[in-house]
């Protein structure tokens, strides 16, 4: 009996050795199953940027935020739905929140235009599927970034994003830019792009352009990991919802209703 046990133990060790050699159960497995997070320390970062959209303040018919963003980021307008590029735009509420009964849950109507943009998810499925790490989640602040020079244009991220936040440059982007902003790069054809939470300016303590341009004060940008931040206070004192919370992506964009 004893002998048998020992053999089993030996076998077990041998097997686990082989398994470790092959990389199963080791760091590789961690990498495969860690949803888009390539560094374990990341979840402890002090900063996780997020946004609160106050749907009660957002004015119907106003598109100041989208205009400001698209102008500053050289987002092309191809005048075609097929080749469309958008970083931030308005969408009927029923498209963003599909599982509500709009006849009864009447805080907002089905066709009310709601703002939408990249959710900069805590567990971004787009990051997980990218074969080149051309899209990744920044360790220090949770922003989901894009490297337009590394992207191979496979569009796996677009299939993986459950929010439709990503656009692909089917057409030559530079042809669709009415007024060029020399301070921000234009993109090349054949790469994916999306909202970057204005990572190019927020480091200087500025708010993203959409927040700056909103006259109604409907948009609040801030650190979700800081309990004293303005955004956390808003979320504490107001009822809020997230898009498709059941998917586990954990969006960082919240809607105050």
Residues forming contacts to other proteins in the complex (CB under 8 A) are: 28, 31-32, 34, 36, 38, 81-85, 91, 94-96, 98-99, 125, 128-134, 150-156, 158-164, 167-172, 188-192, 244, 247-249
Nearer to other proteins by Cβ, of 95 and 233: the residue is 95
Residue 206 is classified by DSSP as P
Give yes or no for a contact between 134 and 152, defined as CB atoms under 8 angstroms apart.
Answer: yes
State the nearest-atom distance from the C-beta of 92 to other proteins, in Å.
9
- With respect to other proteins, which residue has the nearer C-beta, 108 or 163? 163
- What token pair was written down for 154? 């496979």
d(CA 66, CA 213): 9
CB of 68 to other proteins, least distance (A): 21
CA dihedral sign of residues 90, 94, 99, 100:
positive
Q: Could you give the CA distance from residue 166 to residue 117 in angstroms, rounded to a whole number?
A: 9
| Contacts of 129 by beta carbon, 8 Å cutoff, 6+ apart | 156, 157, 159, 160
To the nearest whole angstrom, how small is the minimum distance from the Cβ of residue 256 to other proteins? 21
Residue placing its CB nearer to other proteins in the complex, 10 or 150: 150
Nearer to other proteins, 31 or 206 (CB): 31
Residue 142 beta carbon to other proteins: minimum distance, rounded to whole angstroms: 17
Residue 32: CB minimum distance to other proteins, A: 5
Q: Vertex 61, ends 60 and 62: CA angle to 5°?
A: 95
Q: Which is nearer to other proteins, 109 or 132 (CB)?
A: 132
């Amino acid at each position: 009996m004893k002998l048998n046990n020992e053999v089993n133990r030996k076998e077990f060790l041998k097997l686990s050795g082989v398994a470790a050699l092959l990389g199963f159960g080791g760091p590789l497995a961690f990498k495969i199953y860690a949803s888009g997070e390539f560094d374990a320390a990341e979840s402890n970062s002090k900063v996780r940027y997020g946004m609160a959209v106050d749907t009660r303040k957002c004015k119907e018919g106003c598109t100041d935020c989208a205009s400001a963003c698209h102008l500053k980021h050289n987002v092309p307008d191809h005048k075609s739905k097929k080749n469309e590029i958008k970083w931030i735009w308005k969408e009927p509420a029923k498209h963003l929140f599909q599982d509500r009964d709009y006849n009864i849950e009447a805080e907002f109507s089905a066709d009310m235009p709601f703002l939408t943009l990249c959710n900069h998810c805590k567990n971004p499925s787009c990051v997980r599927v990218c074969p080149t790490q051309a899209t990744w989640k920044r360790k220090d602040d949770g922003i989901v970034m894009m490297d337009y020079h590394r992207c191979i244009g496979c569009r796996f991220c677009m299939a993986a994003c459950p929010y439709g936040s990503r656009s692909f440059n089917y057409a030559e982007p530079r042809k669709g830019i009415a007024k060029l902003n020399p301070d921000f790069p234009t993109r090349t054809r054949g790469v994916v792009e999306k909202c970057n939470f204005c990572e190019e300016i927020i480091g200087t303590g500025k708010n993203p352009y959409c927040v700056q341009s909103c006259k109604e004060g409907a948009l609040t940008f801030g650190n979700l990991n800081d309990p004293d931040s303005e955004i956390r206070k808003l979320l504490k004192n107001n009822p809020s919802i997230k898009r498709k919370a059941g998917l586990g992506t954990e969006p960082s964009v919240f809607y105050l209703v």
